[in-house]
C-alpha cells in the first residue's frame, strides 16, 4: 500500500508542466535514436549527460528514462518495416515482423508492437515500484564485502554473457577497468596514472568514455565499413492498427513477453536480447503446439503476430526491469543503466538504500514519470509510426556529421577544456579498434563505472576487518553470489567444450586423415 501512495505522490509531482516537457522530449529523442540504426539509447544518454549538468537531477532522470523507454519503442518500427533493427533489443522482432510487413500486414505488426510495448512498460514500471523497495530492504544487509561480491558477479556475467566470445568480453571489461584506474585514488589520495597531467589527475570523465566508445567510435566504424554499412532503402508503411482477431492473438504474448522481460531485466549481463529471443522461441513453440492440438494454423515463418507481440513487450519490460537493481542496489545491468548510474554519481547521489531514504521524492517522481512516458510513447508512436520511419531518409553524411558535432560538443561542455577533446579522440580510436576486431564495448562501459566501486568496497571491507580476507566470504549473501559467479563462468565454458566436441566429431567424419 505504501508503494501505491508513494507512487501517487510521485505522479502528482511528475505532472508539472516542466517535468512533462522533459518526459516528452526524452521519449521523442528516444524514439528517434531507436529508429536510427547504429544509435542507441546508451549513446543518446551519454550525449545528453553533460548538457543536463545544469538541470536539477529530477528533470535529468526523467529525460534519461524517457530516452531509455523510447529507444525500445522506436526499435520496433524499423525492424518491422525495413528488417533493420535500430537496436540490438529489436533483432528478435525482425524475424516475424518483417515477414508480416512483406505480407502487407505492416499496420498490424506495428500496432501489436506499440501496444505491446505500452502494456509491458506500464506493468514493468509497476513491478519496479513494487520490487525496488524490496531490493532496498535486502540491500540494507549489505556490507562492503557483499557489495564487492555483487560487482564481481556483474563483471563475470557481463563479460561472459554479452559477447559472442568470452575472451573478447573479458578483454573489453579489463580495458574498462584499466580506464577506471586513472585519477586520484579515492581511498588513499594517491595520484595514479596521471602521467604528470593535471587533467588526468581528475580521472577520465565517464562522458568522454561513453561518447568516445559509443558515439564517435560508431561514426568511425561506419566510415570504415564504407560500402558495407547499412543502406536505408524505400519504405512500405501503414498506420498501426489492430483488428479484434489480432488483439485476441496478441494479448497473451504481451503478458508472457512482459513476464520474461521483467524476470531477466534485473540480471546483470542478460540485457534485452536474451528475453526477446526467449520470448520469440516460446511463442514459436506454443504456436506449434496449438497447431497440433486445435488445428489452428501456425504462421511462424510467414509472419506470425505472436512473434512480434512477445519480443516487443519483452524488451520494454526488461528496460523497466533494469531499474530495479539500478535504483535498489546501484548496480547497472546494461550499458544505458551504467551511464545512468554515472549520472547519479555526478549529482552526488548514490543509488541504493540511501537514495530511497534521502531522495525518496526523486525516486518516486522518476518511477511515476516512467508511467507518464509510456503513455506519451503510445501517443507519439501509434498514429505516427510511419512518420518515424521517414527519419531513415535523412542523408547519411549529415546524420553522422551531426552525431560527430554533438559528440564533440558534449565533451567540450563538461569543462570547456580542449584537453578533454584530445582524450575523446584517443578513446574514439580505441572504440574503432574494439569494434573492428569485434570486441564488444558494453563490458568496458560497465567496467569503467563499476571498477572504482568494486575497488572501494574491496578495500573498505579489508580495512574493516584489518586485513583479514575472510570478511569477503563472511556472509551467506556473498557466498551465494560467488556461487553464481562460478555458475556464470562455467556456463560458457561448458557450451564451448560441447561445441568443440561436436566440431571435432564433424571433422573426424569429414577428414579423418588430417586429424593429428
Partner 1 sequence: MSPDGTDEKHTAGTDPSETTDGSGPPETTDVVETRGTETNTADTAADTAPDPETTVWRGPAAWIVPALAAILGLVALWGAVTIEAPPNATSPGPGAFPGAVGALLLIIAVCMSVVNLRNQGSGKGSSPFAWFESRPVLLVLVGLVAHTALLEFVGWLLAGALLFWVVAYAFGARAYLRDAIVALSMSAAVQVGFSLGLGLNLPGGFLELVL
Least separation, in Å, of the C-beta of 244 and partner 1? 31
Quick one: 10 or 271, whose CB is closer to partner 1?
271
The total of other beta-carbon atoms located within 10 Å of residue 237's CB is 19
Least separation, in Å, of the C-beta of 105 and partner 1? 17
Mark residues 261-290: x for contact with partner 1 by CB under 8 A, - for none: ----------xxx---x-------------
Binds partner 1 (CB under 8 A): choice among 113, 152, 335, 488: 335
Region 203-232 residues binding partner 1, contact defined as CB under 8 A: 214, 216, 218-232
Cell of 391: 527519419
Binds partner 1 (CB under 8 A): choice among 435, 448, 471, 485: 435
Quick one: 138 or 412, whose CB is closer to partner 1?
412
Q: Where are the alpha helices (DSSP H) in 103-243?
A: 106-139, 144-161, 166-181, 198-201, 206-210, 217-225
Region 51-70 residues binding partner 1, contact defined as CB under 8 A: 51, 54
Least separation, in Å, of the C-beta of 8 and partner 1? 31
Work out the burial of residue 347: count CB atoms within 10 Å of its CB; fewer than 13 is exposed, 13-18 middle, 19 or more buried: middle
Determine, following the binding rule CB under 8 A, whether residue 489 of this chain makes contact with partner 1: no
Q: How many residues bind partner 1 (CB under 8 A)?
A: 111
Quick one: 95 or 344, whose CB is closer to partner 1?
95
Cβ–Cβ < 8 Å for 164, 480 = no
Cell of 218: 560508431
Binds partner 1 (CB under 8 A): choice among 459, 475, 482, 489: 459
Quick one: 196 or 295, whose CB is closer to partner 1?
196
Beta pairing class for 183-184 and 191-192: antiparallel
Q: Radius of gyration over alpha carbons of the chain, in Å?
A: 23
Task: Provide φ and ψ at 235, rounded to 5°.
Answer: -120, 130
Quick one: 76 or 255, whose CB is closer to partner 1?
76
Cell of 297: 494454423
Beta bridge partners of 192: 183
Region 83-112 residues binding partner 1, contact defined as CB under 8 A: 83-89, 91, 94-95, 98
State the DSSP string of 465-487: TTT-GGGGG-SHHHHHHHHHHHH
Mark residues 294-333: x for contact with partner 1 by CB under 8 A, - for none: ----------------------------------------
Region 338-367 residues binding partner 1, contact defined as CB under 8 A: none
Least separation, in Å, of the C-beta of 422 and partner 1? 6
Least separation, in Å, of the C-beta of 3 and partner 1? 28
Least separation, in Å, of the C-beta of 314 and partner 1? 13
Mark residues 114-153: x for contact with partner 1 by CB under 8 A, - for none: ----------------------------------------
Quick one: 134 or 507, whose CB is closer to partner 1?
507
Beta bridge partners of 184: 191
Question: Cα–Cα distance between 420 and 423 in angstroms, integer?
Answer: 5
Binds partner 1 (CB under 8 A): choice among 25, 27, 42, 485: 42
Work out the burial of residue 20: count CB atoms within 10 Å of its CB; fewer than 13 is exposed, 13-18 middle, 19 or more buried: middle
SS (H, E, C) 311-364: HHHHHHHHHHHCHHHHHHHCCCCCHHHHHHHHHHHHCCCCCCHHHHHHCHHHHH
Work out the burial of residue 456: count CB atoms within 10 Å of its CB; fewer than 13 is exposed, 13-18 middle, 19 or more buried: middle
Least separation, in Å, of the C-beta of 457 and partner 1? 11
Binds partner 1 (CB under 8 A): choice among 5, 134, 233, 493: 233
Determine, following the binding rule CB under 8 A, whether residue 412 of this chain makes contact with partner 1: yes
Beta bridge partners of 191: 184
- Give the sign of the dihedral formed by CA 18, CA 19, CA 20, CA 26: positive
Quick one: 86 or 353, whose CB is closer to partner 1?
86
Binds partner 1 (CB under 8 A): choice among 21, 140, 387, 405: 405
Reduce the DSSP state of residue 267 to 3 states and report it.
Answer: coil
Cell of 436: 573492428
Least separation, in Å, of the C-beta of 366 and partner 1? 19
Beta bridge partners of 183: 192
Determine, following the binding rule CB under 8 A, whether residue 442 of this chain makes contact with partner 1: yes
Quick one: 6 or 117, whose CB is closer to partner 1?
117
Segment interacting with partner 1, rule: CB under 8 A, options 4-12, 40-48, 144-152, 286-294 = 40-48
Region 177-206 residues binding partner 1, contact defined as CB under 8 A: 177-178, 181, 185, 187-193
Question: Cα–Cα distance between 310 and 247 in angstroms, integer?
Answer: 13
Segment interacting with partner 1, rule: CB under 8 A, options 9-17, 20-28, 375-383, 403-411 = 403-411
Quick one: 300 or 364, whose CB is closer to partner 1?
300
Quick one: 54 or 244, whose CB is closer to partner 1?
54
The total of other beta-carbon atoms located within 10 Å of residue 251's CB is 15
Question: Cα–Cα distance between 492 and 166 in angstroms, integer?
Answer: 7
The total of other beta-carbon atoms located within 10 Å of residue 292's CB is 10
Cβ–Cβ < 8 Å for 319, 297 = no
Amino acid at each position: 500500500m505504501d508503494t501505491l501512495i508513494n507512487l501517487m505522490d510521485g505522479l502528482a509531482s511528475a505532472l508539472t508542466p516542466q517535468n512533462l516537457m522533459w518526459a516528452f522530449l526524452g521519449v521523442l529523442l528516444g524514439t528517434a535514436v531507436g529508429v536510427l540504426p547504429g544509435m542507441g539509447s546508451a549513446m543518446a544518454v551519454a550525449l545528453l549527460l553533460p548538457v543536463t549538468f545544469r538541470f536539477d537531477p529530477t528533470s535529468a532522470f526523467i529525460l534519461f528514462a524517457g530516452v531509455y523507454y523510447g529507444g525500445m519503442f522506436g526499435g520496433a518500427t524499423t525492424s518491422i518495416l525495413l528488417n533493420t533493427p535500430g537496436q540490438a533489443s529489436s533483432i528478435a522482432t525482425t524475424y516475424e515482423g518483417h515477414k508480416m510487413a512483406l505480407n502487407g500486414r505492416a499496420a498490424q505488426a506495428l500496432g501489436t508492437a506499440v501496444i505491446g510495448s505500452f502494456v509491458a512498460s506500464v506493468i514493468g514500471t509497476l513491478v519496479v515500484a513494487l520490487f525496488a523497495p524490496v531490493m532496498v530492504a535486502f540491500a540494507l544487509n549489505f556490507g562492503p564485502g557483499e557489495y564487492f561480491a555483487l560487482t564481481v558477479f556483474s563483471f563475470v556475467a557481463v563479460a561472459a554473457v554479452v559477447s559472442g566470445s568470452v575472451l573478447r568480453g573479458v578483454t573489453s571489461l579489463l580495458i574498462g577497468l584499466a580506464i577506471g584506474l586513472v585519477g586520484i585514488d579515492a581511498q588513499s589520495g594517491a595520484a595514479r596514472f596521471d602521467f604528470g597531467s593535471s587533467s588526468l589527475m581528475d580521472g577520465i570523465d565517464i562522458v568522454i568514455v561513453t561518447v568516445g566508445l559509443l558515439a564517435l567510435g560508431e561514426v568511425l566504424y561506419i566510415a570504415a565499413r564504407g560500402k558495407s554499412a547499412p543502406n536505408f532503402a524505400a519504405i512500405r508503411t501503414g498506420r498501426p492498427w489492430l483488428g479484434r482477431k489480432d488483439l485476441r492473438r496478441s494479448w497473451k504474448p504481451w503478458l508472457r513477453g512482459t513476464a520474461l522481460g521483467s524476470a531477466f531485466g534485473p540480471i546483470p549481463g542478460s540485457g534485452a536480447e536474451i528475453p526477446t529471443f526467449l520470448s520469440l522461441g516460446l511463442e514459436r513453440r506454443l504456436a506449434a503446439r496449438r497447431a497440433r492440438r486445435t488445428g489452428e494454423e501456425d504462421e511462424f515463418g510467414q509472419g506470425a503476430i505472436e512473434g512480434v507481440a512477445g519480443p516487443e513487450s519483452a524488451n520494454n519490460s526488461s528496460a523497466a526491469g533494469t531499474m530495479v537493481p539500478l535504483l535498489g542496489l546501484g548496480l547497472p545491468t546494461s550499458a544505458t543503466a551504467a551511464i545512468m548510474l554515472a549520472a547519479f554519481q555526478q549529482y552526488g547521489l548514490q543509488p541504493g538504500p540511501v537514495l530511497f531514504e534521502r531522495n525518496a521524492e526523486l525516486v518516486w517522481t522518476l518511477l511515476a514519470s516512467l508511467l507518464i512516458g509510456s503513455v506519451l510513447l503510445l501517443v507519439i508512436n501509434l498514429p505516427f509510426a510511419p512518420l518515424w520511419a521517414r527519419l531513415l531518409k535523412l542523408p547519411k553524411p549529415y546524420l553522422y556529421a551531426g552525431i560527430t558535432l554533438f559528440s564533440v560538443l558534449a565533451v567540450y561542455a563538461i569543462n570547456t577544456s580542449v584537453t578533454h577533446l584530445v582524450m575523446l579522440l584517443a578513446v574514439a580510436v580505441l572504440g574503432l579498434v574494439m569494434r573492428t576486431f569485434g570486441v564488444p564495448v558494453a563490458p568496458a562501459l560497465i567496467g569503467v563505472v563499476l571498477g572504482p566501486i568494486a575497488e572501494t568496497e574491496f578495500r573498505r571491507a579489508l580495512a574493516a576487518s584489518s586485513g583479514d580476507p575472510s570478511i569477503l566470504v563472511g556472509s551467506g549473501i556473498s557466498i551465494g553470489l560467488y556461487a553464481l559467479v562460478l555458475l556464470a563462468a562455467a556456463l560458457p565454458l561448458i557450451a564451448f567444450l560441447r561445441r568443440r566436441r561436436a566440431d571435432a566429431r564433424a571433422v573426424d567424419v569429414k577428414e579423418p586423415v588430417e586429424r593429428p
